[in-house]
A and B are shown apart, each in its own frame.
Chain A
Amino acid sequence: MHAFDYATPESVADAVVMLSDHGENACVLAGGTDLIVQLRENRRRTDLVVDVKKIAELNALSYNVATGLTIGAAVPCYRIYGDAEIAAAYPGLMDAAKLVGGTGIQGRASLGGNLCNASPAGDTIPPMIVLGGEAEIAGPAGTRNVAVEDFCTAPGRTVLADGEFLVSLRFPAPAPNSGAFYRRFIPRNEMDIAVVGVGASVVLSGDGSSFVSARIAIGAVAPTPLFVSEAGAALAGQPVSDESIQRAADIARDAARPISDMRGTAEYRKHLTSVLTRRVLQGAVQRAKE
C-alpha cells in the first residue's frame, strides 16, 4: 500500500477543515472494508486518511417512535441489527445489514460507507431509499440534507463535493400498517454481490386490503441504485392483489437498465427484477399485516 498520513478528528468541524485543506487528496475512513482494499489494490490514492470514528455524531444510533431513526455514518452493521428495538421497527433495513459480507465485515462495515462507496449493487441502498432515508452532509458551507435516492450519481460517484462528508442517515418513524423488505438474488447462499437487489416499502389501509402508498428501489441493474417512483405510485389506492403487484413488478422491470457481465445477462437481470419485485412486495405486505 502506498504511504499516507492518518488523522482522527474529534469533531465534525475539525474533519471538514482537514478534508477541505486536502481536497481530492483526502479520503474518509469509517469501517474501511471497501476503502482499505481499494487503497491496497491501487484503485484509489490518497495523501490523508481521515478516520471519522472518533466523532460522536458519526457513532450515534438512536430510535424514537415519534421522530424516527438516526444512524451515524460510521455505525457498523452489527450494532444496528444488534439493537432489538431498531431491528423490530426496521426489518427491511435489517434484511440488508445482515447480508453485507460475513460476520467479520459486519463488525466494521457501515451503512454510511456502503452509500458513499456508491456501488450499483450496494445492498443497503435500496432499503434506505424505500424507507425514505435522508443523508446529512457536512461541509465547508455548513450542513445539507440529500435524499438517499439522489446521493449516488454514477458507479463510485456521489454528490459529495471536496471537503464534504456524510455525517448521518435519518429515517422517519414507520407509519402504521407499513412494512418493508429487501431481497437480493445471488447464486450462492451468502457472501456474494447481488445480481439484482430489490427493496420495497408499503403502507396499507387499516384493514390491509389496499395500498395507501409504496416505494420500490432496485439495485445492480443501473449505474446507481434506482428509485422507481412510478412503480410505487402505480400501487397507491390499488387493492392488494396479485394483479396490482405484478403491474408494479413490470414497471420496475421496465425501469431497469442493466448491463451484461459475469453475474448475468441484461435480459436475465430484467427478468429477475420483475420476479424479485413481486416477492419483495409480497414480503413487505406480509410484514405490514403483522
Chain B
Amino acid sequence: MSKKVHVQTNINGESVDFLCEPRNSLLEVLRDELDLTGAKEGCNNGNCGACNVIMDGRLVNSCCVLGVEADGCELTTIEGVGSAANLHPLQQKFLEHAALQCGICTPGFIVSAKALLDRNPNPSEDEVRYWLAGNLCRCTGYDKIVRAVLDARNGA
C-alpha cells in the first residue's frame, strides 16, 4: 500500500480536505471517502458518463481522474446542482418529461447537461445530442432526456 496523500479541494462551494492513495480514482474518493454517492460507477472506463463531475469548469469522467489530481481543484457534483427542496431547472424538467427510468445514468446526464448549459444557454438539438454522446442510458432511448434538456434551455 502506498502512503496516503493529503488533498485539498473545493467541492460544491465548500472546502474539503481528504486523504487518499494515488491509486484511488476521484470517483472512489467521492463515493467511499466523502459519502457523495450521487456520481455512479457504471463502466469504470470512461465510456458511460455515469460518474460525470465538473472539474475547474470542464466536464470529466471521475472514474478516469485520480483523487490526488483533484488537489487545488474546484469540483461540482450532482449534490451541488440542486436539492430535493430546491431542484435545478434541469432536474425539474427531467421529472416533467419522465426522462429517467432506473435512474443510474441520471446524475451523469444532469451534470453533463449543466456543463453544456453553463457554456451555451441555448444549444440546438444536435448540440445537445453530441454533447451527451458520452452519457449512456440503457432504459429511455434518449429522446425524453434530450427533450428535457431542450426544455431547460434559458430557463436554467
A residues in contact (CB < 8 Å) with B: 1-6, 29, 31-33, 36-37, 39-41, 49, 51, 53, 76, 78, 101-105, 107-108, 189-191
Report which residue of A39, A51, A102 has the largest number of chain B beta carbons within 10 angstroms of its beta carbon. Answer: A102
Q: Does B106 contact A (CB under 8 A)?
A: no
Q: Tell whether, in the assembled complex, residue A105 and residue B46 are in contact, meaning their CB atoms are under 8 Å apart.
A: yes
Q: Tell whether, in the assembled complex, residue A36 and residue B134 are in contact, meaning their CB atoms are under 8 Å apart.
A: no
User: Which residues does chain A contribute within 8 Å of B130, judged by CB atoms?
Assistant: 190
Q: A37-B64, A41-B45, A190-B130 are in contact. Are A103 and B2 (CB under 8 A)?
A: no
Q: Does B76 contact A (CB under 8 A)?
A: no
A-B contact pairs, 23 of them (CB 8 A): A2-B23, A3-B1, A4-B22, A5-B2, A6-B5, A6-B22, A29-B69, A36-B64, A37-B45, A40-B45, A49-B66, A51-B68, A78-B58, A101-B46, A103-B133, A104-B59, A104-B134, A105-B46, A105-B64, A107-B55, A107-B58, A108-B65, A189-B133
* Complex alpha-carbon distance, A32 and B25, angstroms: 11
Q: Tell whether, in the assembled complex, residue B22 and residue A103 are in contact, meaning their CB atoms are under 8 Å apart.
A: no
* Complex alpha-carbon distance, A40 and B65, angstroms: 12
Q: Name the contact of B46 in the complex, choosing from A2, A6, A37, A51 (C-beta under 8 A).
A: A37
User: Which residues does chain B contribute within 8 Å of A33, judged by CB atoms?
Assistant: 46, 61, 64
* Complex alpha-carbon distance, A6 and B45, angstroms: 20
Q: A6-B22, A32-B66, A41-B45 are in contact. Are A103 and B59 (CB under 8 A)?
A: yes
Q: Does B9 contact A (CB under 8 A)?
A: no
Q: Tell whether, in the assembled complex, residue A103 and residue B64 are in contact, meaning their CB atoms are under 8 Å apart.
A: no
Q: Does B37 contact A (CB under 8 A)?
A: no
B residues in contact (CB < 8 Å) with A: 1-3, 5, 21-25, 44-47, 49, 52, 55, 58-61, 63-66, 68-69, 112, 115-116, 130-135
Smallest Cβ distance from A74 to chain B, in angstroms? Answer: 12
Q: A103-B133, A105-B46, A191-B47 are in contact. Are A36 and B66 (CB under 8 A)?
A: yes
Smallest Cβ distance from B77 to chain A, in angstroms? Answer: 13
Smallest Cβ distance from B143 to chain A, in angstroms? Answer: 15
* Complex alpha-carbon distance, A31 and B5, angstroms: 20
Residue of B whose beta carbon sits closest to that of A48: B22
User: Which residues does chain A contribute within 8 Å of B46, judged by CB atoms?
Assistant: 33, 37, 101, 104-105
- Assuming A51-B69, A102-B135, A103-B59, what are 7 further A-B pairs, CB within 8 angstroms? A6-B68, A33-B46, A40-B25, A51-B68, A104-B46, A105-B64, A107-B60
User: Which residues does chain B contribute within 8 Å of A104, judged by CB atoms?
Assistant: 46, 49, 52, 59-61, 64, 112, 134
Q: Tell whether, in the assembled complex, residue A6 and residue B61 are in contact, meaning their CB atoms are under 8 Å apart.
A: no
Q: Tell whether, in the assembled complex, residue B55 and residue A190 are in contact, meaning their CB atoms are under 8 Å apart.
A: no
Q: Tell whether, in the assembled complex, residue B64 and residue A190 are in contact, meaning their CB atoms are under 8 Å apart.
A: no
User: Which residues does chain B contribute within 8 Å of A32, judged by CB atoms?
Assistant: 64-66, 69
Residue of A whose beta carbon sits closest to that of B72: A54
Smallest Cβ distance from B71 to chain A, in angstroms? Answer: 8
User: Which residues does chain B contribute within 8 Å of A2, judged by CB atoms?
Assistant: 23
* Complex alpha-carbon distance, A3 and B3, angstroms: 9
Residue of B whose beta carbon sits closest to that of A190: B133
* Complex alpha-carbon distance, A31 and B47, angstroms: 15
* Complex alpha-carbon distance, A164 and B134, angstroms: 33
Q: Name the contact of A103 in the complex, choosing from B24, B65, B68, B134 (C-beta under 8 A).
A: B134
Smallest Cβ distance from A1 to chain B, in angstroms? Answer: 4
Q: Name the contact of B21 in the complex, choosing from A3, A36, A39, A190 (C-beta under 8 A).
A: A3
* Complex alpha-carbon distance, A40 and B23, angstroms: 9
Q: Tell whether, in the assembled complex, residue B133 and residue A76 are in contact, meaning their CB atoms are under 8 Å apart.
A: no
User: Which residues does chain A contribute within 8 Å of B25, judged by CB atoms?
Assistant: 1, 36, 40
Smallest Cβ distance from B124 to chain A, in angstroms? Answer: 15
User: Which residues does chain B contribute within 8 Å of A31, judged by CB atoms?
Assistant: 64
Residue of A whose beta carbon sits closest to that of B130: A190
Q: A3-B1, A3-B21 are in contact. Are A102 and B49 (CB under 8 A)?
A: yes
